[in-house]
Amino acid sequence: MRLSQYFLPTLKENPTEAQIVSHRLMLRAGLVRQTSAGIYAWLPLGFRVLKKIEQIVREEQDASGAQEVLMPTIQPAELWQLSGRYDVYGKEMLRIKDRHERDMLYGPTNEEMITDIFKSFVKSYRDLPRNLYHIQWKFRDEVRPRFGVMRGREFLMKDAYSFDLDFAGAKLAYQKMFLAYLRTYARMGLKAIPMRADSGAIGGDMSHEFIILADTGESAVYCHPDWLKLDPLNESVSYNQKELDPFVERWTSLYAATDEKHKPGCANIPDNQLLTARGIEVGHIFYFGTKYSKPLNAFVTGPNGEQIFLEMGSYGIGVSRLVGAIIEASHDDNGIIWPESVAPFKVGLINLKQGAAQTDKVCEDIYTKLNQAKIDVLYDDRSESAGIKFNGMDLIGLPWHLVVGPRGLEKNVVELKYRKTGERQELSIDSALAKLAG
Amino acid sequence: MRLSQYFLPTLKENPTEAQIVSHRLMLRAGLVRQTSAGIYAWLPLGFRVLKKIEQIVREEQDASGAQEVLMPTIQPAELWQLSGRYDVYGKEMLRIKDRHERDMLYGPTNEEMITDIFKSFVKSYRDLPRNLYHIQWKFRDEVRPRFGVMRGREFLMKDAYSFDLDFAGAKLAYQKMFLAYLRTYARMGLKAIPMRADSGAIGGDMSHEFIILADTGESAVYCHPDWLKLDPLNESVSYNQKELDPFVERWTSLYAATDEKHKPGCANIPDNQLLTARGIEVGHIFYFGTKYSKPLNAFVTGPNGEQIFLEMGSYGIGVSRLVGAIIEASHDDNGIIWPESVAPFKVGLINLKQGAAQTDKVCEDIYTKLNQAKIDVLYDDRSESAGIKFNGMDLIGLPWHLVVGPRGLEKNVVELKYRKTGERQELSIDSALAKLAG
C-alpha cells in the first residue's frame, strides 16, 4: 500500500479524551475513530490488526476442533426469559422493541441462543461432543464506557460453547480451550497467564481468566516469576490427545492470582518472591455444567434411552479488546510496537527523497518485490521530511523499517531498522529483502 | 472435515415455512437456522459459503483500490437527523434508546457515518480520491420478512463509498465499481446484468442494479440475448486505467431493463427477440453527488483555497443475500449445485463401506492427501447406506463427489462425480487426486 493513497489519518497531538496509552496511541495512529460513546469505527490500519488477531483466534479454535458458526447480533427476549437472565442482566443489556413491539436485544453473549440452536438439531449422545464458536459483535451498554476499545460498548468477541455428555467430556473440552488460549496469545506475542476466576454473572466451577502483564494493566496480579520463562508454543502437546490433565496441571501449578483472588501465604514460594504486576484480562473460559441446558430443556438421549442434559462450557476472547491490550503490553514513548504476527504491515518502506529519480526507482523496485513475495508493505511515498516519516513510522509501529536514501545508495546500501529494539543495520538491497523474507 | 464430527444438521422433509427454493434448500442442507423472524444463525456449512462470497467481494474491492474499514452496527440518531433521513426512513429503521435515553439506531446503511468520519480527517483536495468500504451486518425491520436470507432483517452487506473532488472523478470511481461488480459476480459463477435503476430512497443519477437471472427471480427482466455470451473475466481491462468509458459503454450498450424500467420498443432489437426472464437483484451502485456532503458539511479545500463539497457515490452488494441468490440460480431437484468458487468444500469424499479395512484405509489416505494439498474436503465417514450418502451429498451440493467402494477398489478405481452435470468417471486414485488438484 502506498501511504500517499492510504486513508491513514494520524494525529500530531495527544487526544485529550484518552486516559490510557493504548487509547491515545490508537487515536493518534489512525486505527479507530469514536462514533458514539464507547463505539468505534475501525479505520484501514486498525482494521488490518483486528483481522490479523481474529485470524489467529480462528486458526487455533479450528485446530482445537471447534467449528465456526455465526449467530446474529439481535436476539429475541424469550430465550433470555427462559434462562432467567433477561431480568437480572440489568441496564448493560441493550433492549430493543421491533416494529411489531416484540422484545429483542443486542446480544451481550450467546449461551441461550447457541443452546437453543444446538438442542433443536442434536438428539443423540452419538452426536457429542461438539464445540461451536463464532466471532461476532456484541453490545454491553456500559454506564461509563472508557479506555477506548478496552471497555467499549460495541465490541468483537470470540465465544465458543462446548456440548458434552458428561463431566469428563466437558473437562476435556475445557482443557482443549485452555491449551488453545495459551497458544493463541503466545502467537500474538503476549505472555498470558491463566488465573483462577470467580464464577461471575455466568456461573461455573472450572473457571480461568487469561491475564496479560502490562505496566498499565487494570488490576494488580501476583504470580510466580517462573511464569515468565514458560512458552506454550514450546510444548509438545496436541489437541487430539485424549488426556490433557498433565498439561493443564503443569500450567496451573505455578502460583498466579488476581488481586481479587490473591491470598497471602498461599503461593508455593514466599510471598516476597512473587512477581507483583499489573494485568489485563483478555479471555475467560468456564465450565458451567447444566446451568443453561436445564432451563432451555436441552438434552440428548443416552445409550440406554435416558434423557441426559448437556454439559456445557463457554470460552470468550475479546478480539477488539486485544488490539488495545497488545498496545498496552507493547509500546514505547514513540508509539506502538506491533508483534509481527498482528502487525498491519510487516514493513514500512521509507523513501528519504521522494521525487528523486534514484531513490524513487529503488523504492518502486523494492515495493514491487515485497508485494510479489506477499510481504505486507506500507510505502511512505509522500513528499515529507525524513523526520516526519521516521516519527510517523515509529508511531504506527510496523516491525521493520526499510529506509532508502541518496547517501546510502551511493554506497549501495539501505538501512533496516527493527522497531522493537531500535537496532539499525546497513545492508545491500538484496540482503535486506532476504532478511525480510525470512 | 469428517462428517461424523461435523455440525451439519440436514433435514429430510421440506420445511413448510419456506416458500422459495433457496430458502427450502438452505434449511434442508443445514446452512442456516432462523432465530427470530427474518434473522438467521449461520451454521458451519452456511458460514463457509458466506465467508467465500465475502472474500471474493473483498478481493475485487481491494483490487479496485477501495480500502476496507469497519463501522459499527449501532449509530447515533444525530447523524441521520442532519441528513434528514431519520424521519423519512420510517419503520424499517430499528430505533433504539440506550441506558442514558440517547436515540440510537441499528444502521441500515452508512452514508451519513462514513461521510462524518471522512470529513473529520480529510481537509485537502490532495487527499482525494478515496473509496472506503466495509462488510458489516445491517438491519432493516421489514414488515414481512420472508424468502429466508433473501429478504431478512439482519443481513450482511458490503457497502463502499467514494469521495471525489469533481464529477469526472466520481464518474471514474463509479466505473471502477461497475467493473468490480461485474468481476465479482462472474467469479461466483453468476451471470449478473447491470440495469439502469431508479434513484430510490438514496437518490442519484448514475445508478445501476446488478441482476442475476434465475427462473425463480423476484421480478421480470428484459434483455438482449447477447448478454448471455458476455464474460467480464475475458475482458482485458484494468482498475488502473484512467479511462473506463469505452468499457462501460460497451457493457451498457446492450438492452437490459427491469420490469419497472422496461419500455417496449426502446431496445436496439425487436422486442420479440428480447430475452424475457426472471431476475434477482444482488447489487446496486449509484452516484449521488453532494446529497450527503452538503447537509453534513463535508468539504475539502481546493487548489485555490476554495471550499469544495465532496462528490460521492455508494456501492452495495448483499453478501448474505447472495447465498440465497446463488442457490436460486444453481440447483436441481436433488439439491444445491455450488459454483466451485463459493462451495463450502470442493470435494465430498464418500466411503461406501465405512468400517471395512480396505475402504477405510483408502479413504483416510485420500482424506490426508487432499488436506495436505489444501483442497477442502468433507469426508462422509458415517455408517450410513450408500443411498443416504449420495442423497446427502447431492443436497449440500459440493462440486465433486469422490466415491470409494469395495467393488471399485478391486479394480483399483474410484468414482469421481461432477455434481453439476452428474457425469461420473472411474479413475485410479492418483488420477482422481490429480484431477481435483487441477
CATH number, domain of A389, equals 3.40.50.800
A48 — pLDDT class (breaks 50, 70, 90)? very high
The CA distances from residue B116 to A4, B83, B229, B286, in Å, are: 21, 11, 43, 19
Range of the domain at A164: 3-336
* pLDDT tens figures, A115-158: 999 999 999 999 999 999 999 999 999 999 989 999 999 999 99
Chain A residues touching residue B132 (CB < 8 angstroms): 7, 44
Residues A168 and A251 in one domain: yes
Residues A238 and A378 in one domain: no
pTM of the predicted model as reported, rounded to 2 decimal places: 0.97
B199 — pLDDT class (breaks 50, 70, 90)? low
Examine the pLDDT at A17 and tell me if it is beyond 90.
no
- A127: nearest CA partner in chain B: B5
- Nearby residues of A264 by Cβ (< 8 Å), 6 or more positions away: A271
| Minimum-distance CB partner of B104 among A36, A74, A130 | A36
- Tell me which of A280, A315, A336 is where a domain ends: A336
Residues A400 and A313 in one domain: no
Residues A328 and A361 in one domain: no
Give the per-residue pLDDT at A196.
87
Give the per-residue pLDDT at B51.
98
How far apart are the CA of A101 and the nearest CA of chain B, in angstroms? Answer: 11
How far apart are the CA of B290 and the nearest CA of chain A, in angstroms? Answer: 21
Please name which of A157, A152, A138, A174 lies closest in space to residue A54, comparing C-alpha atoms: A157
Give the per-residue pLDDT at A203.
45
Residues A297 and A324 in one domain: yes
**Is residue B239 packed enough to be buried (19+ CB in 10 Å), middle (13-18) or exposed (0-12)?**
middle
What is the spatial distance between Cα B421 and Cα B161, in angstroms, rounded to a whole number? 40
Residues B295 and B268 in one domain: yes
Instruction: For residue B183, count other CB atoms closer than 10 A to its CB.
Output: 21
Strand pairing partners for B96? B104
Give the per-residue pLDDT at B202.
47
Residues B183 and B321 in one domain: yes
Report which secondary-structure segment, H or E, holds A220.
strand A219-223
Share of chain B above pLDDT 90, in %: 90
Examine the pLDDT at A231 and tell me if it is beyond 80.
yes
B400 — pLDDT class (breaks 50, 70, 90)? very high
Residues A111 and A211 in one domain: yes
Give the per-residue pLDDT at B201.
46
Report helix, strand or coil for B387. Answer: helix
Q: ipTM of the assembly?
A: 0.96
What is the spatial distance between Cα B230 and Cα B243, in angstroms, rounded to a whole number? 21
Residues B239 and B284 in one domain: yes
What is the spatial distance between Cα A415 and Cα A417, in angstroms, rounded to a whole number? 6
Contacts by residues A333-337 (CB-CB < 8 Å, ≥ 24 positions apart): A334/A391, A334/A394, A334/A395, A335/A25, A335/A28, A335/A29, A335/A394, A335/A395, A335/A396, A335/A397, A336/A25, A336/A29, A336/A395, A336/A396, A336/A397, A337/A397, A337/A399, A337/A419, A337/A420
What is the spatial distance between Cα A194 and Cα A179, in angstroms, rounded to a whole number? 10
A281 — pLDDT class (breaks 50, 70, 90)? very high
Least confident range from A97-101, A340-344, B8-12, B268-272: namely: B268-272
* pLDDT tens figures, A335-362: 999 999 999 999 999 999 999 999 999 9
User: Which residue of A74, A95, A159 is the best one to mutate when testing the B interface, meaning the one whose CB has the most B CBs within 10 A?
Assistant: A74
Quote the cell numbers at residue A106. Answer: 443486542
How far apart are the CA of A116 and the nearest CA of chain B, in angstroms? Answer: 9
Examine the pLDDT at B310 and tell me if it is beyond 90.
yes
Alpha helices in A6-73 (DSSP H): 21-28, 44-63
Once rounded to an integer, what is the mean pLDDT over residues B47-73?
98
A368/B contact by beta carbon, under 8 A: no
Residues A202 and A260 in one domain: yes
* pLDDT tens figures, B145-184: 989 999 999 999 999 999 999 999 999 999 999 999 999 9
Cβ-Cβ contacts under 8 Å between A and B: the total is 140
Using only C-alpha atoms, what is the Rg of chain A?
24
How far apart are the CA of A37 and the nearest CA of chain B, in angstroms? Answer: 9
* pLDDT tens figures, A181-207: 999 999 999 999 999 887 654 444 589
How far apart are the CA of B415 and the nearest CA of chain A, in angstroms? Answer: 29
- Tell me which of A336, A359, A374 is where a domain ends: A336
Residues B361 and B269 in one domain: no
Give the per-residue pLDDT at B221.
95
Tell me which residue has cell 447477447: B226
- Tell me which of A336, A370, A391 is where a domain ends: A336
Quote the cell numbers at residue B394. Answer: 447431492
Share of chain A above pLDDT 90, in %: 90
Most confident of A204-208, A252-256, A421-425: A421-425
Residues A257 and A352 in one domain: no
Chain B residues touching residue A55 (CB < 8 angstroms): none
Contact at CB, A121 and B91, closer than 8 angstroms? no
* Mean confidence (pLDDT) of chain B: 95
Q: What is the DSSP string of B166-197?
A: SHHHHHHHHHHHHHHHHHHHHHTT--EEEEE-
Which of 233-262 (B) contact A at CB < 8 A?
A: none
Contact at CB, A141 and B104, closer than 8 angstroms? no
Which of 92-151 (A) contact B at CB < 8 A?
A: 92, 94, 96, 98-99, 102, 104, 106, 113, 116-117, 120-122, 130, 132, 137, 139, 141, 143
Examine the pLDDT at A260 and tell me if it is beyond 90.
no
A353/B contact by beta carbon, under 8 A: no
Examine the pLDDT at A66 and tell me if it is beyond 70.
yes
Q: For chain B, how many structural domains are there in total?
A: 2
Once rounded to an integer, what is the mean pLDDT over residues A78-105?
96
Give the per-residue pLDDT at A199.
61
Give the per-residue pLDDT at B217.
86
CATH of the domain at B286: 3.30.930.10
Contact at CB, B41 and A99, closer than 8 angstroms? no
Contact at CB, A96 and B98, closer than 8 angstroms? no
